[in-house]
Amino acid sequence: MKSQKQLRGLFIYSEGALFWLVDRPPKKTCGSPAGWLHPSGYVYIGIDGKNYAAHRLIFLYHHGYLPEYIDHIDGNSLNNKIENLRQCTFSQNLHNSKLQTNNTSGVKGVSFSKADNKWRARIQVNGESHFLGQYSNIDDAERVVKNIRVKLHKEFANHG
């Protein structure tokens, strides 16, 4: 990984993006935006034959160090404004995740048990699943999950 000093010699930061300060033949010229949209949904930037996630470079550019994990506060992987990036743990990053595409209830942490004909509420904390009970209606299960999520996940709570 490059240093903060090296990054500041290569780029200028503006509104969540990095722009080249130097010509990078054959395609990039001074002042042009750096990076491309990777299939993962993140912007990547190539420097000297190696690819880096733009949000990681932007964090290093501003703070002078690189944490193991960086969270997009609003959950938008394309919003690389420095005020939208924060250091986190692996678990905190997962807490701030959106509703999974395979969720069938439409509520994060709630699933339906056909065997019991009830809504089950669960929450993840530090990689462990915690059962919060079964409920006759989805609204009660959702209320319980949201309340516990706010208490345990704090500023990383994301309801989907």
The stretches in the chain having pLDDT less than 70 are: none
Contact 21, 7 (CB under 8 A): no
Distances (CA, A) of 104 to 37, 100, 118, 131, 132: 29, 9, 14, 18, 18
pLDDT at 26: 82
DSSP 3-state assignment of 155?
helix
Quick one: how far is CA 142 from the chain centroid?
23
Q: pTM for the full model?
A: 0.85
What are the structural domains, with CATH classification, of the chain? 4-88 (3.90.75.20), 100-156 (3.30.730.10)
Contacts 24+ apart (CB under 8 A), 137-142: 138/105, 138/107, 138/110, 138/112, 141/107, 141/110, 142/107, 142/110
Our CA dihedral for 158, 151, 89, 125, rounded to 10 degrees, sits at -90
